[in-house]
Amino acid sequence: MTGPDLHDDLRSVAFLLGTWRGSGHGDYPTIEGFTYDEEISFTHAGKPFLFYLQRTWAPDGSPLHSETGYVRPVGADAAELVIAQPTGITEIHAGPVEGTTLRLRSVDVGLAPTAVDVRSTARTITVSGGELVYRLEMAAVGQPLQFHLEAKLHRI
């Protein structure tokens, strides 16, 4: 059995499709630096959006962060990313698609009453060949927007 055809609107973000695995590192002024392993999947169901699923784990195998959401193309040169996290944070991003790079900035961050005080984020995702590299910047807990995470993943 084969899956549905790729929706025409997804051409600009089709380079994301697949499952990616690798490792990264994180840092922030309020925490100690760390390393992690990660898997990200971008899939589709024939509709004009991609499903996004991400999970990370510590080098010893214990689970860390996860998030899920959707990539929604906006014309041929822009996209939106909608994310929900089990930590009570939601993020809505928008930005340009430049070749095989997404440059997204949050336009809204929602917080549950017990969530960490995240004010804004910026995500850059670049695919080159069989490699996906991303960088996440974050403004949270009284800190300005700055580096938080970076990872290099390979298509599996």
Give pTM, 2 decimals: 0.95
d(CA 32, CA 1): 47
d(CA 5, CA 133): 27
- pLDDT tens digit string along 50-61? 999 999 999 999
State phi, psi for 16 to the nearest 5 degrees.
Answer: -80, -25
Name the residue range of residue 115's domain.
8-155
Structurally, how many domains does the chain consist of? Answer: 1
d(CA 100, CA 136): 17
Could you tell me the pLDDT band of residue 3, with boundaries at 50, 70 and 90? Answer: confident
Alpha-carbon dihedral of residues 104, 44, 127, 87, nearest 10 degrees? 50
Residue 46, in any domain of the structure: yes
Give me the mean pLDDT over the 77-105 stretch: 98
State phi, psi for 43 to the nearest 5 degrees.
Answer: -130, 175
Residue 15, in any domain of the structure: yes
The reported pLDDT for the residue numbered 119 is: 98
- pLDDT tens digit string along 95-148? 999 999 999 999 999 999 999 999 999 999 999 999 999 999 999 999 999 999
The reported pLDDT for the residue numbered 34 is: 98
Residue 106, in any domain of the structure: yes
Look up the CATH number of the domain holding residue 36. 2.40.128.20
Residue 103, in any domain of the structure: yes
Token pair belonging to 29: 């002024």
Question: How many CB atoms are closer than 10 A to CB 83?
Answer: 20
Residue 62, in any domain of the structure: yes
Residue 3, in any domain of the structure: no
